Amino acid sequence: QSVLTQPPSASGTPGQRVTISCSGSSSNIGTTFVYWYQHLPGTVPKLLINRNDQRPSGVPDRFSGSKSGTSASLAISGLRSEDEADYYCAAWDDSLSGVVFGGGTRLTVL
């Protein structure tokens, strides 16, 4: 059971906007930064969102992150087939003194 809770799956059609949620607690999302990773099959994970809502260089602006209280969300607009991947949220947990990952959400582009 992961410290951060994500839905196991999400789906959408090309061009749609989808959101993936990540629920935590006051010791992680509530007080620290949230990070989002994209893990495409056969590749290494890629940092998609840094510090709640910042996109690293090279990440399309179709991807956006937000945080409110102890929850965070990743939104993908203009969905494309190449967005089909596993998405993970992560955060530092002050109580555990460690990084915690969500269980991952498999995004399917229908």
Partner 1 sequence: EVQLLESGGGLVQPGGSLRLSCAASGFTFSSYAMGWVRQAPGQGLEWVSVISRSGGNTYYADSVKGRFTISRDSSKNTLYLQMNSLRVEDTALYYCAKDLVASGYYGAFDYWGQGTLVTVSS
What is the contact surface with partner 1 in residues (CB under 8 A)? 2, 32-33, 35, 37, 39, 44-47, 50-51, 56, 86, 88, 90-92, 96-104
State in angstroms the smallest separation of the CB of 46 from partner 1.
8
Nearer to partner 1, 16 or 40 (CB): 40
State in angstroms the smallest separation of the CB of 76 from partner 1.
19
Q: One-letter amino acid identity for 109?
A: V
Q: For residue 72, with 0-12 CB atoms within 10 Å meaning exposed, 13-18 middle and 19 or more buried, which class applies?
A: buried
Could you give the CA distance from residue 36 to residue 81 in angstroms, rounded to a whole number?
A: 19
